[in-house]
A and B are shown apart, each in its own frame.
Chain A
Amino acid sequence: MSERKTMLQVENVTMQFGGVVAVNDLSMEVREGEIVAIIGPNGAGKTTAFNVITGVYAPTNGRVNFDGNCVVENYPHGKMKKNYLGEHAGLYSHVKEPTPDELTGLGMARTFQNIRLWKSMTVFDNVLVAKHLKRSSNLFSATFRSNRAEEARQRKETLELLEIVGLADVKDELATSLPYGKQRRLEIARALATQPKLLLLDEPAAGMNPQETQELTQFIGQIRKDFGVTILLIEHHMDLVMDISDRIYVLDFGRLIAQGTPAEVQKNEKVIDAYLGVVDDAEN
Chain B
Amino acid sequence: MIETKNRKSAWIAFLSVLCFLALVFGLDQLIKPTDKLGMLLIVLQKGSVYALAAVSMNLLNGYTGLFSLGHAGFMLLGAYTYAIFTIPDKNRDAVYQYFDAAIRFSIPEQLSKSMGGFGTALGILIALLLAGLVAAVLAWLIGLPVLRLKSDYLAIATLGFAEIIRAVFQWSKLGPVTNGSNLLKNFARASKFKLEIAGMKLSLSTFVPVLIATVSITLIVLLVNSTYGRAFKAIRDDEVAAEAMGINLARHKMIAFVTSSFFAGIAGATLAMVLSIAQANNFKSAMTYEILLMVVLGGIGSITGSVIGSLLFVAASEWWLRGLDSGKFLGIEAPTVFRNGFRLVVFSVIIMIVVLFFRKGIMGEKELPDLFRKKKKAPEKGEQS
User: Beyond A117-B241, A132-B247, A144-B222, is A154–B234 a contact (Cβ under 8 Å)?
Assistant: no
- Establish whether residues B227 and A109, one from each chain, have CB atoms under 8 Å apart when the complex forms: no
Taking a contact as CB atoms under 8 Å apart, the answer to whether B246 and A130 are in contact is: yes
Do the beta carbons of B233 and A120 come within 8 Å of each other? yes
The residue in chain A whose Cβ has the minimal distance to the Cβ of B10 is A145
Expressed in whole angstroms, the minimum distance between the Cβ of A2 and any Cβ of chain B is 31
As a 0/1 sequence over residues 88 to 103 of chain A, the CB contacts with chain B under 8 angstroms (1 = contact) are 0000000000011110
Distance in angstroms between the alpha carbons of A102 and B250 in the assembled complex: 12
Q: Does A110 contact B (CB under 8 A)?
A: yes
- Partner of A119 from the list B3, B227, B237, B246 (CB cut-off 8 Å) is B237
A-B interface contact total, Cβ < 8 Å? 103
Shortest CB-to-CB span from A236 to chain B, Å, is 21
A147–B228 Cα gap in the complex (Å)?
12
Interface presence of A263 (CB below 8 A): no
Q: Mark A113-157, 1 if CB is under 8 A from B, else 0.
A: 000111111000100111111010101001111010001101100
Q: Mark A174-207, 1 if CB is under 8 A from B, else 0.
A: 0000000000000000110110000000000000
Known: A118-B237, A120-B233, A120-B365. A135 touches B243 (CB 8 A): no
A133–B241 Cα distance when bound, in Å, is 13
Partner of A133, one of B222, B237, B240, B246: B246
Residues in B228-283 with C-beta less than 8 Å from chain A: 228, 230-231, 233-234, 236-238, 240-250, 255, 259
Say yes or no: is B334 at the interface (Cβ < 8 Å to chain A).
no
A60 interfacial contact with B, CB 8 Å: no
Q: Which residues of A contact B250 (CB under 8 A)?
A: 99
Cβ of A104 < 8 Å from any Cβ of B? yes
- Please state if A100 and B244 are interface contacts (CB–CB under 8 Å): yes
Cross-chain contact B246 with A132 (CB below 8 angstroms):
yes
Q: Are A155 and B2 in contact (CB under 8 A)?
A: yes
Q: Is B223 an interface residue (CB 8 A)?
A: yes
Q: Is the CB of A54 within 8 A of B237?
A: no
Contact A119–B238 (Cβ < 8 Å): yes
A99–B250 Cα gap in the complex (Å)?
10
Q: Are A109 and B238 in contact (CB-based, < 8 A)?
A: no
Please count how many residues in chain A sit with their CB below 8 Å of the partner chain's CB atoms. Answer: 40
Contact between B222 and A190, CB atoms less than 8 A apart: no
Q: Which residues of A contact B219 (CB under 8 A)?
A: 143
The A-contacting residues of B in range 195-248, CB under 8 angstroms, are 219, 222-223, 226-228, 230-231, 233-234, 236-238, 240-248
A27 to chain B, nearest CB (A): 24
* Cβ contacts under 8 Å, B240 to chain A: 56, 112, 116
User: How far, in angstroms, from A143 to B2 measured CA to CA in the complex?
Assistant: 20
Docked-complex contact A54 and B246, CB < 8 angstroms: no
Given contacts A132-B227, A142-B223, A194 and B249 within 8 Å (CB-CB):
no
Instruction: State in angstroms the CA–CA spacing of A135 and B152 once bound together.
Output: 32
Q: Check A101/B233 contact, CB under 8 A, given A117-B238, A143-B226, A154-B227.
A: no
A105 is an interface residue with CB less than 8 A from chain B: yes
Q: Answer whether A101 and B249 are a contact pair too, CB < 8 Å, given A142-B227, A143-B219, A155-B2.
A: yes
Taking CB as reference atom, which chain A residue is nearest B241?
A116
Please tell me if the beta carbons of A135 and B227 are within 8 angstroms of each other in the complex: yes
Distance in angstroms from B62 CB to nearest chain A CB is 11
Nearest residue in B to A127 (C-beta to C-beta)? B245
Complex contact B223–A100 (CB within 8 A): no
Residue of B nearest to A148 (CB): B3
Smallest CB gap from A115: residue in B: B241
- Most chain-B Cβ atoms within 10 A of its Cβ — which of A100, A121, A144, A155? A100
Measured between beta carbons, the chain A residues less than 8 angstroms from B3 are: 152
Closest residue on chain A to residue B237 by CB atoms: A118
Known contacts A139-B255, A142-B223: A112-B241 contact under CB 8 Å: yes
Interface pair A191/B228, CB less than 8 Å apart: no
Pairs A-B, 3 closest by C-beta atoms: A133-B246, A104-B246, A118-B237
B interface residue numbers (CB < 8 A to A): 2-3, 219, 222-223, 226-228, 230-231, 233-234, 236-238, 240-250, 255, 259, 301, 365
Residues of A within 8 A of B (CB): 54, 56, 99-102, 104-105, 109-110, 112, 116-121, 125, 128-133, 135, 137, 139, 142-145, 147, 151-152, 154-155, 190-191, 193-194
Query: Can you identify 17 A-B contacts, CB atoms within 8 angstroms?
Result: A99-B243, A100-B244, A101-B248, A102-B248, A105-B246, A110-B244, A112-B240, A117-B241, A119-B237, A120-B365, A121-B233, A125-B230, A132-B230, A135-B227, A139-B255, A143-B228, A191-B245
